[in-house]
Amino acid sequence: MTAPAAYGPALDLVTRVRGVRGAMLVSGEDGIVVAEQLMEGIKGGAVAALAASLAARLRRAIDAAGVGPTLFWHLQCDKGGLLVVPTPSGVLIVAVAEPDVNVGLVRLELLRAAEAVG
């Protein structure tokens, strides 16, 4: 992973998208928040734990299916969504978004952020 100085610009790529309420870098192994830019009212620790737990379960299911590693996933809910891109280093780039967010644009920026983080 790159130096922490790169974390802010990587998160900026994601949070500049209209409808994104926050972005985080999360350790995929234990759900610890590495860096965050969140709007008020978002419980970063809970989101990080959820993302890491889902990533572990998805990894097992995807391995069993034999289709290769996940590149992007989107959990859509009534009041918003969670969009995630895992990095090769095991860090998850997580976006918390409103229901009407442009998912394609968020995905693009998450992938760019993942490249920047490594």
Only one residue has tokens 């970063």, namely 44
**Using an 8 Å Cβ cutoff, are 23 and 15 in contact?**
yes
CA distance 18 to 2: 27
Mean pLDDT by groups of 10 residues along the chain of 118 residues: 71 96 94 94 94 91 89 93 93 96 96 90
pLDDT of residue 117: 87
pLDDT of residue 118: 77
In whole angstroms, how far apart are CA 102 and each of 16, 25, 59, 109?
12, 20, 26, 11
pLDDT of residue 2: 46
**Which domain range does residue 47 map to?**
4-117
pLDDT of residue 6: 73
Please tell me the total count of domains within the chain.
Answer: 1
pLDDT of residue 27: 93
**Using an 8 Å Cβ cutoff, are 11 and 23 in contact?**
yes
- What does 62-114 look like in DSSP terms, one character per residue? HHHHTS-----EEEEETTEEEEEEE-TTSEEEEEEE-TT--HHHHHHHHHHHH
pLDDT of residue 3: 52
CATH number of the domain that residue 45 is part of? 3.30.450.30
